[in-house]
């Protein structure tokens, strides 16, 4: 079913692509620091997107944000969607493009994504949003390394003035090579594609499982590199490329291998995808957004539990 949907999506994306222009990038780097963001705040091509989730205390954006940033909380804005009863999927292209346009982001804008930055799982909100822009064909996107945590640690100014952007048109140039399907995962071994399971080791081994996943275990042949290895909770920063190369080597995967990352809902998988594709530089990397929620729901799909 997903393959049929993607075929239809590809047709729609082709129609969108005719009007899509690629932004002039203010940076080629996947990660920038607080000084870079501050130096570019007055650039009209820049849109800073605060994706911090609501807390028990209320809106972290209202409490203080990077001046001029727009607010699109990860859990409420609609960066992910339930598709065919599977949570965490890429929303339909017409839906997500309209949402992005509502933030004042068109195809000429450079986007900076700002998470809270407290830990690796939180940072996964930023990597998932970053991946969304990439799969939609928008390369002018980067992440504030360490998020709002790093901004505050650097002593930068915050504002409580909310920004209400004017809606604009954001056109999609869909990149199917960045989005893996269940069919791609099923054929991975015979096609020589490495599978990277970004979940904690206990879930990979089948000792525990997420509540949204029907069965414990992993996809046969997968290698485990936990998303927590890609981000230093203590330092509040993404790890360097050489660290990721060591993680890949230790997992027994070639650093240039064709690979697919997965987790439970395509959240932690985006941390691994970002590290492998954008920081280490392996552009042969795709992400399976359906992940174990979709995979394990079908009893005919094989899973393994470690002894």
The token duo for 82 is 């339930």
Pairwise CA distance, residues 186 & 217, whole Å? 15
**What pLDDT sits at residue 23?**
59
Distances (CA, A) of 195 to 3, 124, 187, 212, 259: 19, 19, 11, 21, 6
**Residue 129 pLDDT level (bands cut at 50, 70, 90):** very high
Per-residue model confidence as pLDDT tens digits over 172-205: 999 999 999 999 999 999 999 999 999 999 999 9
Structure tokens at 282: 């392996």
| Average pLDDT across the chain, whole number | 93
Give me 147's structure tokens: 């998020």
Q: What pLDDT band is residue 122 in, cutting at 50, 70 and 90?
A: very high
Q: What is the pLDDT of residue 218?
A: 98
pLDDT, tens only, 219-269: 999 999 999 999 999 999 999 999 999 999 999 999 999 999 999 999 999
Q: pLDDT tier at 44 (50, 70, 90 boundaries)?
A: very high
Give the pLDDT score at 267. 98
- Name the band, by pLDDT with cuts 50, 70 and 90, for residue 151: very high
Per-residue pLDDT reduced to its tens digit, 80-90: 999 999 999 99
Mean per-residue pLDDT for 2-27? Answer: 51
Instruction: Tell me the percentage of the chain whose pLDDT exceeds 90.
Output: 91
**Looking up tokens 């222009």, which residue turns up?**
21
């Amino acid at each position: 079913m997903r393959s049929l949907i993607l075929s239809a999506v590809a047709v729609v994306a082709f129609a969108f692509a005719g009007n899509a222009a690629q932004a002039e990038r203010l940076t080629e780097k996947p990660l920038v620091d607080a000084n870079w963001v501050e130096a570019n705040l007055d650039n009209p091509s820049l849109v800073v997107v605060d994706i911090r989730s609501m807390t028990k205390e209320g809106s972290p954006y209202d409490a203080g944000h990077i001046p001029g940033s727009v607010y699109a909380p990860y859990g409420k804005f609609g960066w992910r969607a339930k598709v065919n009863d599977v949570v965490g999927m890429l929303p339909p292209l017409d839906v997500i493009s309209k949402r992005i346009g509502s933030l004042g982001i068109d195809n000429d804008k450079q986007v900076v994504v700002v998470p809270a930055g407290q830990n690796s799982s939180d940072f996964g909100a930023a990597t998932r949003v970053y991946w969304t822009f990439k799969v939609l064909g928008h390369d002018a996107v980067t992440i504030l390394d360490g998020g709002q945590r790093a901004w505050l640690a650097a002593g930068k100014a915050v504002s409580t003035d909310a920004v209400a952007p004017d809606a604009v048109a954001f056109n999609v140039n869909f990149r199917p090579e960045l989005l893996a399907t269940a069919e791609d995962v099923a054929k991975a071994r015979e096609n020589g594609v490495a599978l990277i399971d970004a979940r904690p080791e206990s879930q990979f081994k089948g000792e525990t499982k997420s509540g949204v996943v029907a069965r414990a275990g992993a996809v046969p042949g997968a290698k485990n590199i936990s998303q927590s290895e890609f981000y230093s909770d203590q330092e509040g920063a993404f790890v360097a490329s050489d660290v990721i190369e060591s993680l890949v080597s230790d997992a027994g995967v070639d650093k240039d291998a064709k690979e697919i990352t997965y987790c439970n809902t395509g959240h932690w998988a985006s941390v691994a995808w970002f590290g492998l594709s954008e920081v280490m530089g392996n552009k042969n990397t795709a992400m399976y957004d359906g992940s174990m929620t979709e995979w394990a729901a079908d009893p005919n799909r094989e899973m393994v539990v470690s002894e």
